[in-house]
């Protein structure tokens, strides 16, 4: 059965297979770059719940959200509202994003920026570093164990942080096995794209206390943010709600600062 995820991954893997650039040369090109802006530390030290605010033009399930947005202006609005970090879609075919969106958003703020894309090859990681990202997204459901380990290792080697995205406890175990210290729990099912608003709370109890935990998708307002903070999430990643808001700064301000509760983690490291 064809799904959103399988279709997206097919396109990205085909592009990776056709890319003839030398990973070694690209990795060498990252050697002289300035250090990244620390993402996990910004989230860990925020006064209450932190927000990773997303620059997102469209989605496969919802269609156009804000196709004509100015990424620099949106990023500045997010920072003014108290966002701790940015997430910028760079996927073109399915989300209407680009590396230029990421560069514009990062230049407009002093916030760390996550490259939000479907990372399937070393070249994707290296491109993230070269385009100016501070962190890269690794989706456990899109990668086998060897790919997940290798791409996490490469990200660390070139100075990027990796947000490892999981959807359930088995994927969380895989993320922890590669040493992930920044984990996102996506409440959106990447097969159906439906949102399960209880998923993050269920998975939270299995996330070790020393891991920075981020809840993704399904955050529609302050009540959702407060609930996830109480479950022990240090941050929420929010896209559609913020992009569609008439006052993006105020929308961010309504999400930040909720008291973060302890996670009664069942797993220790």
Q: What is the pLDDT of residues 160-190, one digit of tens each?
A: 999 999 999 999 999 999 999 999 999 987 6
**Beta carbons of 56 and 239 less than 8 angstroms apart:** yes
**Beta carbons of 224 and 218 less than 8 angstroms apart:** yes
Q: What is the pLDDT of residue 77?
A: 98
Number of residues that this document lists for the chain: 269
Q: What is the pLDDT of residue 264?
A: 61
Compute the mean pLDDT over every residue in the chain, rounded to the nearest whole number. Answer: 93
Angle ∠(175,177,180) on CA atoms, nearest 5: 50
What end-to-end distance do the CA atoms of the chain give, in Å? 37
Domains of the chain: 4-18+38-253 (3.20.20.70)
Q: What is the pLDDT of residue 50?
A: 98
* Environment class of 224 (CB within 10 Å of its CB; exposed 0-12, middle 13-18, buried 19+): buried
- Residue 68 CB neighbour total at 10 angstroms: 6
Which residues are paired to 268 by β-bridges? none
Is residue 105 helix, strand or coil? helix
Query: Which is it for strands 58-59 and 235-238: parallel, antiparallel or unpaired?
Result: unpaired
| Residues 116-173: tens digit of each pLDDT | 999 999 999 999 999 999 999 999 999 999 999 999 999 999 999 999 999 999 999 9
Predicted structure pTM score = 0.94
Q: What is the pLDDT of residue 2?
A: 62
Q: What is the pLDDT of residue 130?
A: 97
Distance (Å) of CA 257 to CA 73, 92, 94, 199, 213: 23, 33, 32, 22, 15
Q: Which residues are tagged catalytic? A: 54, 56, 116, 165, 186, 216-217
Is residue 139 helix, strand or coil? strand
Q: What is the pLDDT of residue 4?
A: 73
* Environment class of 28 (CB within 10 Å of its CB; exposed 0-12, middle 13-18, buried 19+): exposed
Closest-CA residue to 162 (of 175, 177, 143, 174): 175
Q: What is the pLDDT of residue 47?
A: 95
Rounded average pLDDT per 10-residue block, the chain, 269 residues? 79 95 95 95 97 94 90 98 98 95 98 97 98 98 97 98 96 96 90 80 93 94 96 96 96 97 62
Helix (H) or strand (E) holding 109: none
- The backbone torsions φ and ψ at residue 134, rounded to the nearest 5 degrees and listed phi first, read -100, -20
**Beta carbons of 141 and 174 less than 8 angstroms apart:** no
Q: What is the pLDDT of residue 1?
A: 53
């Amino acid at each position: 059965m064809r799904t959103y995820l399988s279709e997206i991954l097919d396109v990205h893997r085909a592009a990776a297979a056709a890319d003839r650039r030398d990973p070694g040369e690209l990795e060498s090109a990252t050697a002289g770059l300035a250090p990244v802006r620390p993402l996990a530390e910004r989230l860990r030290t925020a006064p209450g719940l932190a927000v990773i605010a997303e620059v997102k033009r469209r989605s496969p399930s919802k269609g156009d959200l804000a196709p004509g947005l100015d990424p620099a202006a949106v990023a500045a609005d997010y920072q003014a509202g108290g966002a701790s970090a940015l997430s910028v879609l760079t996927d073109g075919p399915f989300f209407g994003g680009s590396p230029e969106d990421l560069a514009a958003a990062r230049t407009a703020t002093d916030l760390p920026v996550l490259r939000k894309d479907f990372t399937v090859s070393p070249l994707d990681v290296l491109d993230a570093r070269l385009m100016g990202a501070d962190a890269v997204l690794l989706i456990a459901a899109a990668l086998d164990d060897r790919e997940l380990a290798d791409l996490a290792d490469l990200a660390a080697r070139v100075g990027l942080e990796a947000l490892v995205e999981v959807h359930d406890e088995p994927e969380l175990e895989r993320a922890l096995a590669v040493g992930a210290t920044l984990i996102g729990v996506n409440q959106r099912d990447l097969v159906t794209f439906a949102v399960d608003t209880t998923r993050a709370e269920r998975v939270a109890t299995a996330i070790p206390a020393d891991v920075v935990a981020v809840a993704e998708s399904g955050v529609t307002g302050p009540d959702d943010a407060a609930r996830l903070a109480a479950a022990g999430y240090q941050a929420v990643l929010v896209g559609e709600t913020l992009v569609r808001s008439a006052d993006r700064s105020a929308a961010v301000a309504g999400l930040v600062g909720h008291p973060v509760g302890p996670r009664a983690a069942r797993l220790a490291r």
